[in-house]
Amino acid sequence: MFHLTDQVALVTGGAKGIGKGIVQTLCKAGAKVVIGDIDQQQGAATAQELGCAFKALDVTSREACQSVVAEVVKEFGKLDILCSNTGIFPQANLTEMTEADWDQTHNVNLKSTFFVVQAALAPMREKGYGRIVITSSITGAITGYPGWSHYGASKAGQLGFMRSAALECAREGITINAVMPGNILTEGLAEQGEAYLEEMKRSIPTHSLGKPEDIGHAVCFLASKEAGYITGQTIIVDGGQILPESPEALL
């Protein structure tokens, strides 16, 4: 029903993990996709595998975000869809967390969202059309996990940012929404170790981790023309992880 034929999309953190799942889904729906990622080797390999373009991008640089968006517009003529997806999730308990840990997590996860959304808004406003989808998380906005207070704050912060930003663009044909993944099996999540992955499976009603394409499908919907009357909203994609009121649901 939905298609993104001839839509131009930029996906940050698209080299692997959830970002790659988003890229894959957008490509399948007909979009021309540009991956922006700090991992140049993997970014170029993913772009080749999926038949899209790659640009080296460190989202913690405002200048880099602006110049990558400008390059996309120069090469493809417009930018219809922005997926602000980059994120890191290093663990640090509060007794050990340094100011540098806090700043790095906020810079890559939250400040980057401001940088890349601000950069994308200029060409979107010119055309009077845009779809922005932010990858947030259930962690922070709904749930908590020891060691992720800085991460949770950055992910909840993205939603606060989104709501005001959505209002600023409401009459300009531009929507800003967010997906909130639960535990999705990505390269980044795998680094948490087998014990973590098994613990998570047991805490999800489906008893399974999500796949990157599960997030891609939700993003694809929010990125479609048909979702034009939805803005400032969230879709939780978590296999029901936030639902159980009692342990029986998890047996």
| Phi–psi pair at 189, nearest 5 degrees | -70, -35
| Residue 119 burial (CB count, 10 A) | 23
x/- letters, 1..40, toward ligand NAP (CB under 6 A):
-----------xx-xxxxx-----------------xxx-
Residues in region 67-96 near ligand NAP by CB under 6 A: 85-89
Work out whether 55 is an interface residue with ligand NAP (CB under 6 A). no
Pairing of strands 174-181, 234-237: parallel
Token pair for 224: 């479609």
d(CA 98, CA 32): 41
Least separation in angstroms between CB 100 and ligand NAP: 15
Give min distance, CB of 211 to ligand NAP, in A. 10
Judged by CB under 6 A, the number of residues near ligand NAP is: 30
With a CB cutoff of 8 Å and minimum separation 6, the contacts of 57 are 12, 36, 37, 38, 64, 65, 68
With H, G, I as helix, E, B as strand and everything else as coil, classify residue 106.
Answer: helix
Q: Tell the smallest beta-carbon distance from residue 137 to ligand NAP (Å).
A: 4
CA–CA–CA angle 89, 93, 97 (5° rounding): 80
Judged by CB under 6 A, the stretch of 51-59, 97-105, 170-178, 221-229 that binds ligand NAP is 51-59
- Our finding on whether 97 is near ligand NAP (CB under 6 A) is no
Residue 60 binds to ligand NAP (criterion: CB under 6 A): yes
Residue among 69 and 108 whose Cβ is closer to ligand NAP: 108
216 binds ligand NAP (CB under 6 A): no
196 among known catalytic residues: no
Q: Which residue, chain included where needed, has tokens 């922070």? A: 140
* Binding residues for ligand NAP restricted to 182-211, rule: CB under 6 A: 183-184, 186-189
Of the candidates 111, 113, 239, 104, the residue with the CA atom closest to the CA atom of residue 181: 239
Q: Which of residues 126-165 bind ligand NAP (CB under 6 A)?
A: 135, 137
129, 151, 196, 229: which one is catalytic? 151
Helix axes 149-169, 112-127, angle to 10 degrees: 20
**Angle value at C-alpha 113, between 35 and 119, nearest 5 degrees:** 70
Task: Tell which one of 123, 152, 157, 181 touches ligand NAP (CB under 6 A).
Answer: 181
Residues that bind ligand NAP (CB under 6 A): 12-13, 15-19, 37-39, 42, 57-60, 85-89, 108, 135, 137, 181, 183-184, 186-189
Active site residues: 151
